Structure 1
Amino acid sequence: MKNVLLITILLISNICFSQLKSVIIDSKTKEKIPYVNIWVENENIGTTSNEKGEFELEVNKTKIILFSAIGFETKRISSDSIKNILELKPVITELDEIVIKSKNSTNKLIIGKFKKSKIDFYFSCGTKPWITARYFKYKEEYEKTIFINKIKVLTKSKVKDSKFNIRLYNINNEGEPEGYIYDENIIATAKKGKKNTEIDITELNIEFPKKGFFIAIEWLIIEDNKYEYKYTITGSKKKHDGISYEPYIGTIPAESDENSWIFTKGKWRKIWKNKSPSKKYKEKYNLMAIELTLSN
């Protein structure tokens, strides 16, 4: 009887949980696609494909899985249809017309200035591949320094050289990030500790869109970013194993949520109010600490 019960439990366990394991490739070139954002739709479960396009994800029951990567159509597919190879279809992104202008970088303008020493609250993803976006509105004064040269982000990392992805989005009619102004990954590296991480994109010749644009930080659930630690629960001395994926991204307090969005559970959502006891951040909205250097 005990053996029958054990077999029944094992069968139920196998039915309820399945381990998805696949390699994601370009349907046209058949090349492997790294750093694909993978979500269980409407749930806080997800992962990222590694540099070889490989991923593993455990799901219970049959779910809709969402795959998102720059330069490819977003794919939604039932988990029971995922095989050893999964293909994403490349898209031709309709970028704004590029007008070649002479660049001499004699004029520079810095916007979104922040002080590292004044920031003590951060966004972190835990074990989920979040994307957090900040909107930058266009102003007439930017016309003389129209090119985006550098992006500076406040990062804090417990591991050496953690990686994160930068996505540059247009804005849709609902005010959400949608469509890219640059259709490739911009992989940045955060040094260990609390640092101002600077990404130089001068050579990309990206102009500040007249409608404004979003800078989005995408966490990568990959082995290089993994940080393992021990923790205890209040009232207990027992130590538990914890995992986080670095880096943390610094934030500044804002009065409104209009410029902050988070992509989680497969959807874009407005940022929520901070409930931290910190007087500086309590009942405010977290806005990513991002500084831009513009030039002519």
Structure 2
Amino acid sequence: MKRLVTIIILVISNICFSQLKSVIIDNKTKEKIPYVNIWVENETIGTTSNEKGEFELKIDSPKIILFSALGFETKRILSDSIKQVIELKPQTTKLDEIIISSKKQNKSLTIGKFKKSKINHYFAFGKNPWIAARFFEYQAIYESTPYLSKIRILTKSKVKGSKFNIRLYDINEKGEPDNYIFHKNIIGTANKGKRITEIDISELNIKFPKNGFFIAFECLIIEDNKYEFNYTIKDSKEKQKGIRYDPKIGLIPRDENKNSWIFNQGKWRKVLKNNNYSSKRYNNKYNQIAIELTLKN
């Protein structure tokens, strides 16, 4: 009788849950694609492929799975049709997106400045991938320093050498991030503690687009970024176990939301106003990720 019950439980478990396991490759070169963010469409479930392009994802019923990687067309697949190998199609790069020329590095301008000491709230990433984006509007004064040189982000991490990805997006007619202006991963590494993490992109020779652009911070749900911790629920002494994926990113409070977006569940949406924050400085404000951008000629 006990054996029969065990068999029934196993059968029900297999019906209720499906473990997706696959490797993602480029459909032209057949090379494995690392750091692909993977979502269950319209749900807060997802993961990231590792450095070998491999991933595992548990779902409770047939779902639409979304695959998003820099330089590749976004792909949506019914989970039941996912095989051991998934192929993504490279995106066509416009010739005018990356302008290569000789340039003299004798003039610079930093925009989006923030004070590290004044920031004490962060965007933390749980078990699901997110992308947080901030729009940088073009101004005429950038004409003398048109090249993107350095990106500086306030990070906080409990993990040594936690990795994240930077995406650079164009803006569409709805004001949303859309289409890449650079088609490869820009991987940043954050050390432990509260730090300003700098990414040098000067060698990419990218000009500041005249219609502005988005800098997006993409968390990576990979083993090297995992941080496990204990916490207690309010009015309870019982300890709970939590997992997040570092690094966290610093947030600046703003009265209006003119440039902040979040990508989750396969969709872009504008950042909402904070409610019930303990900090007066952040309560009833909009969060803007703390990013500085250095321009050079």
Give me the TM-score of the superposition, normalised by structure 1.
0.97
**1:10 alignment partner, SS class:** helix
Which stretch of structure 1 is more off in the superposition, 86-95 or 151-160? 86-95
* Structure 1 counterpart of 2:267: 267
* Distance in 2 separating the partners of 1:194 and 1:100: 35
* Structure 2 counterpart of 1:289: 290
* Structure 1 counterpart of 2:208: 208
* Distance in 2 separating the partners of 1:117 and 1:81: 50
Q: Give the 5 Å matches for 1:1-296.
A: 3-94=3-94, 96=96, 98-275=98-275, 276-296=277-297
* Distance in 1 separating the partners of 2:257 and 2:188: 26
Which stretch of structure 1 is more off in the superposition, 12-21 or 155-164? 12-21
* Distance in 1 separating the partners of 2:100 and 2:252: 35
* Distance in 2 separating the partners of 1:128 and 1:135: 23
What's the CA shift for 1:125? 1.3
What's the CA shift for 1:86? 1.1
What's the CA shift for 1:100? 4.2
Cα distance change on mapping 1:244 and 1:98 into 2, 3 Å: closer
* Distance in 1 separating the partners of 2:13 and 2:97: 54
What's the CA shift for 1:155? 0.2
What's the CA shift for 1:10? 2.5
Name stretches of at least 5 consecutive residues in structure 2 with no aligned partner: none
Cα distance change on mapping 1:197 and 1:183 into 2, 3 Å: same
**2:11 alignment partner, SS class:** helix
What's the CA shift for 1:256? 1.6
Which stretch of structure 1 is more off in the superposition, 282-291 or 89-98? 89-98
2:32 counterpart letter in structure 1:
K
2:66 counterpart letter in structure 1:
L
2:81 counterpart letter in structure 1:
S
Once the two structures are aligned, what percentage of the paired residues are identical?
68
Cα distance change on mapping 1:65 and 1:186 into 2, 3 Å: same
* Distance in 2 separating the partners of 1:146 and 1:184: 21
The superposition leaves residues 32-60 of structure 1 with CA deviations (integer Å, 9 ceiling, x where unpaired) of 10000100000000000000000000001
2:30 counterpart letter in structure 1:
K
CA contact (8 A) 2:33 2:51 kept: yes
Which stretch of structure 1 is more off in the superposition, 86-95 or 214-223? 86-95
CA contact (8 A) 2:101 2:205 kept: no
What's the CA shift for 1:112? 0.3
**1:155 alignment partner, SS class:** strand
Cα distance change on mapping 1:22 and 1:191 into 2, 3 Å: same
The superposition leaves residues 48-81 of structure 1 with CA deviations (integer Å, 9 ceiling, x where unpaired) of 0000000000001000000000111111001111
**1:247 alignment partner, SS class:** strand
CA contact (8 A) 2:72 2:88 kept: yes
What's the CA shift for 1:84? 1.2
What's the CA shift for 1:277? 2.1
1:282 counterpart letter in structure 2:
N
1:109 counterpart letter in structure 2:
L
* Distance in 2 separating the partners of 1:279 and 1:235: 24
**2:125 alignment partner, SS class:** coil
What's the CA shift for 1:244? 0.7
CA contact (8 A) 1:96 1:181 kept: no
Superposition CA RMSD, Å: 1.3
